[in-house]
């Protein structure tokens, strides 16, 4: 899996994200660059799974591994399965993990923008 920095770069360099940033800059010229980048990143993660995975396959590979590990743990024995595996809601789990990833990338973006303004 690529690093979070590399993943952030890949997302921010997507044609659709670059277009979103450009449109925001034109619509809100007084906003800081970080605001445009942050909003575009949020918009990227607000797409449905298929659109996200088609644009950045590495996100699917990362998520697939997390789901595999979670299912493996939940089915490791009958007690664990009965206590937690039966109620595994993959969609909620995947959405939560993508939300966490988006938050982590926002933190990296914020730190990067702060370093550039120093």
Question: What is the distance between the alpha carbons of residues 16 and 47, in angstroms, rounded to a whole number?
Answer: 12
Chain CA centroid to CA 41, Å: 8
**pLDDT tens track of the chain, all 118 residues?**
789 999 999 999 999 999 999 999 999 999 999 999 999 999 999 999 999 999 999 999 999 999 999 989 888 888 888 887 667 888 999 999 999 999 999 999 999 998 887 7
Nearest CA-CA partner of 6 in 115, 108, 113, 111: 108
Question: What is the distance between the alpha carbons of residues 75 and 96, in angstroms, rounded to a whole number?
Answer: 20
Nearest CA-CA partner of 91 in 57, 115, 67: 67
Report phi then psi at 77, rounded to 5: -155, 165
């Amino acid at each position: 899996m690529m690093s979070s920095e590399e993943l952030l770069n890949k997302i921010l360099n997507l044609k659709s994200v670059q277009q979103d940033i450009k449109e925001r800059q034109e619509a809100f010229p007084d906003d800081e660059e970080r605001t445009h980048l942050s909003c575009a990143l949020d918009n990227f993660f607000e797409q449905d799974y298929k659109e996200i995975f088609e644009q950045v396959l590495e996100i699917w590979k990362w998520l697939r591994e997390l789901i595999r590990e979670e299912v493996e743990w939940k089915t490791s024995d009958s007690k664990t399965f009965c206590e937690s595996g039966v109620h595994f809601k993959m969609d909620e789990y995947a959405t939560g993990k993508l939300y966490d990833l988006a938050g982590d990338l926002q933190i990296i973006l914020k730190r990067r923008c702060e370093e550039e303004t120093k």
